[in-house]
A = this chain, B = another copy of it.
Amino acid sequence: MAVTRVWAPFARTVMMIVGGKHYPMSDEGLGWWILDSPQAGHGVDYAFVLDGSEPLPDPRSPWQPYGVHGFSRMLDHSLFAWTDARWQPPPLSSAVIYELHTGTFSPSGTFLGVAEKLDYLVDLGITHIELMPVNSFPGRRGWGYDGVDINAPHEPYGGPVQLKRLVDACHEKGLAVILDVVYNHLGPEGNYLGRFGPYFTDRYSSAWGSAVNFDGPGSDEVRRFFIDNAIMWMRDYHVDALRLDAVQGIIDTSAVHFLEQLSGEVGKLRAQLGRNLSLIAESNLNDPRIIEPCEAGGYGMDAQWSDDLHHALHTVLTGESNGYYEDFGTLSDLAQALQEIFVYNGRYSAFRGRRHGRPVRNVSGHKFLAYLQNHDQIGNRALGERASHLMNASRVMIGSALVFTSVCIPLIFQGEEWGASSPFQYFTDHQDQELARAVAAGRKNEFAAFGWAPQDIPDPQDAATFERSRLDWSEVGNHPHASIHAWYKSLIRLRRELPELKDGDPGKVLISHNDEEQWMVVSRGSVMVACNFSHQEREIGLYEGRRREVLLASHSGVAHRDGSLVMPAESVAVLFLHRG
């Protein structure tokens, strides 16, 4: 005997199909329907029939073994034998995050495939893995941002049990798990939510389809739907942190913003579980309110992604200037990102056609994630090229050194640490053929604006596009990948060992740069990071006579000469200033 509930305020009758039979559900009030059924129990398939409709999956389905269009399956979380009772994740402030896509990270493309690489990640110095969305999405292949059954781990990845095994294994190895969740929209295919209740609104428009109803009639339950999802991952899957996709797409003008409510609820869960739980927002708003504490009028996120640093770094390294890169490109912008986090802190943005952002004040850099690249900046390119495909190894070394010596929390995208040859392209596996054609056409149109010929854009629906994006692990130990790998490992070690690099105060970061000569020196206490972006050797005057030890250099030609530092073309070095 078990009780099943579903929120279907639009329905006049709701039937539940369980054990192959139809049962009428009872109206419990407030739009909730209930059935106490002897057939219900772990592993049993079920579906709902609204006003005589075809069988529909449960919006809160915990398991979708037949995909997004199929029956849901009941799941008893208490059956899993966790071995991480004493687990406590390392604090975000000391994190080194590894973002990965389950489908392309390993040869098998499953949670088990990820689990097999944990020793490798520990050896690299990683503290947190971040899984791109694992919610059920249409077909087998996809980035996961078109998820619909947000509580059901994608079956082709291994489903609920394998995800739990992965998290448990991570904790055993000392690795924390961050999960990417999408609350700003739901995917277009397999999205039956609008039939159940007012999950969507047309008062706001979204870049990705219908906007979610966070503040209209019925929104209490819609907010609850997402908050219960967050709690479920943390409580039932032992996930340590959530990465909230594109929170600018969460339009909520009510007095308590959804993110504030979420951070309050996660705070309660943190106290209840006695485990350190975190929320990390992806935000393009450049609004410190996201990470300010609720008591100070903020939304209480523990951290947010810092795209300004990425864009400033990427443009200086590549010279690219299209799309959102038009707003960046100077060493001054890069210096500002390293010292003040937001480059756009009220400045006019040509890309946005308006002033953008506001300054971050008195906030630790540990509230921001830094990266040379993440899945978006790679995958949103026409061909999905990584940084290492766009620049030589020397420039990758400069860029990664600046990320790992920054005040922000560093994040690596899978394979970045060895300059993987595989791209990360945009791939889908829509079962709805009309939608599939629209997605492929949309992709071609989008890049036509940048001068691309349609035939040069990989077809997202083609399985080859997905396969092309899979990591080739045979590269890791081989030239030229091995030296990049060693470089990343050294950077992570430096960051862990040098107290100066653990300090999150951006106000203590001192920077000199010369735009004409294209060099930059970042000082963090006794640690100095010298970069020469130019194609010529540069001599950088040092104003103190004290001895500097080269801790790490991308080039053997880095040297001292007459009180100056000689930096070969396209080089970076981390130096240590000995006192006295």
Contacts and interface: CB of A to CB of B under 8 A. Distances in A.
Interface string A342-368: 000010100011111110000000000
A535 interface: no
A256 B358 CA distance: 7
A298 interface: yes
Contact-size category for A: 20 to 34
B354 A217 contact: yes
A289 B285 contact: no
A505 interface: no
A248 B253 CA distance: 8
Contact of A346 (B256, B346, B354, B356): B256
Q: Name the residue among A248, A287, A354 with the largest chain B CB count within 10 angstroms.
A: A354
A253 B254 contact: no
A144 to B, nearest CB: 25
B220 A348 contact: yes
A286 B219 CA distance: 16
A130 interface: no
Contacts of A203: 204-205
A88 B256 CA distance: 37
A354 B296 contact: no
Contacts of A353: 216-219
Contacts of A202: 205
A247 to B, nearest CB: 10
Given A204-B203, A204-B204, A255 B286 contact: yes
Contacts of A355: 220
Nearest to A351: B217
Contact of A255 (B219, B220, B289): B289
Contact of A292 (B289, B292, B297, B357): B297
Nearest to A344: B255
A215 interface: yes
A552 interface: no
Contacts of A253: 248, 251, 285
A215 B354 contact: yes
Contacts of A256: 346, 358
Interface in A279-303: 285-289, 292, 296-298
Q: Name the residue among A205, A215, A254 with the largest chain B CB count within 10 angstroms.
A: A254
Interface string A255-292: 11000000000000000000000000000011111001
A203 to B, nearest CB: 5
Contact of A354 (B219, B287, B289): B219
Contacts of A356: 254-255
Nearest to A30: B348
A306 to B, nearest CB: 14
A346 B223 CA distance: 14
Interface string A214-252: 011111100000000000000000000000000010010
Nearest to A260: B358
Nearest to A346: B256
A254 to B, nearest CB: 7
Contacts of A205: 202-204
Contacts of A292: 297
Contacts of A289: 255, 297
A219 B353 CA distance: 8
Contacts of A285: 253-255
A354 B220 contact: yes
Contacts of A296: 296-297
Given A202-B205, A204-B204, A292-B297, A357 B286 contact: no
A287 B255 CA distance: 5
Nearest to A204: B204
A483 B248 CA distance: 57
Contacts of A217: 352-354
A416 B511 CA distance: 66
A254 B283 CA distance: 11
A58 B216 CA distance: 37
A343 B249 CA distance: 30
Given A205-B203, A297-B292, A297-B298, A216 B254 contact: no
Given A204-B205, A218-B353, A255-B286, 4 more contacts: A204-B251, A219-B354, A255-B346, A292-B297
Interface of A: 202-205, 215-220, 248, 251, 253-256, 285-289, 292, 296-298, 346, 348, 352-358
18 contacts: A204-B204, A215-B354, A216-B354, A217-B352, A217-B353, A248-B253, A251-B251, A253-B285, A254-B285, A254-B287, A254-B354, A255-B287, A255-B356, A255-B358, A256-B346, A256-B358, A296-B296, A297-B297
3 tightest Cβ-Cβ pairs between the two chains A and B? A297-B297, A217-B353, A255-B287
